[in-house]
C-alpha cells in the first residue's frame, strides 16, 4: 500500500524550530537534520509497521545522527501516515498521546 504523509501543525512547528536551532549551532547543520528526517520519512512510508508502538496506535522511530524521535499514526482507511510530532528525546513524550 502506498501511503501519503500528513503533518500535524505541531510537528511542522517542531521541525522548523529544530532546523533553525541546528543552523544556529553550525552552518548548514539544520539542513543535514532535515535531510536525515526526510530519509527516515521515506523509510516510514515504505514500511510503517516496521517501527515499534510507543502508545496506543502511535509508533516512533529515531532520526539517524540526531536525538529526535518521529511519532506517527497509520491510517489504513485513508492510506496516510499522520506525523504527530518530531521531538527531542529529552522531552516528555506523554503529550503525544493527546495529539490526533
For 76-93, the pLDDT digits (tens) are: 889 999 999 999 999 988
- In the predicted model, residues of the chain with pLDDT beneath 70 are 99-100
Stated as kind and residue range, the H or E segment containing 83 is strand 80-88
Helix or strand or coil: residue 87?
A: strand
pTM attached to this predicted model: 0.93
pLDDT at 3: 94
Which domain range does residue 87 map to? 4-98
Nearest Cα residue to 52 out of 76, 70, 78, 77: 70
Cα(97)–Cα(25) distance, integer angstroms: 31
CATH number of the domain to which 9 belongs: 3.30.2310.20
Position 100 scores a pLDDT of 62
Number of domains in the chain: 1
Amino acid at each position: 500500500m502506498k501511503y501519503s504523509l500528513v503533518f500535524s501543525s505541531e510537528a511542522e512547528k517542531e521541525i522548523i524550530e529544530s532546523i533553525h536551532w541546528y543552523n544556529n549551532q553550525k552552518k548548514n547543520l539544520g539542513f543535514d537534520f532535515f535531510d536525515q528526517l526526510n530519509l527516515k520519512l521515506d523509510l516510514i512510508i515504505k514500511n510503517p509497521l516496521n517501527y515499534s508502538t510507543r502508545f496506543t496506535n502511535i509508533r516512533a522511530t529515531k532520526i539517524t545522527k540526531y536525538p529526535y524521535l518521529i511519532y506517527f499514526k497509520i491510517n489504513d482507511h485513508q492510506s496516510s501516515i499522520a506525523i504527530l510530532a518530531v521531538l527531542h528525546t529529552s522531552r516528555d513524550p506523554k503529550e503525544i498521546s493527546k495529539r490526533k
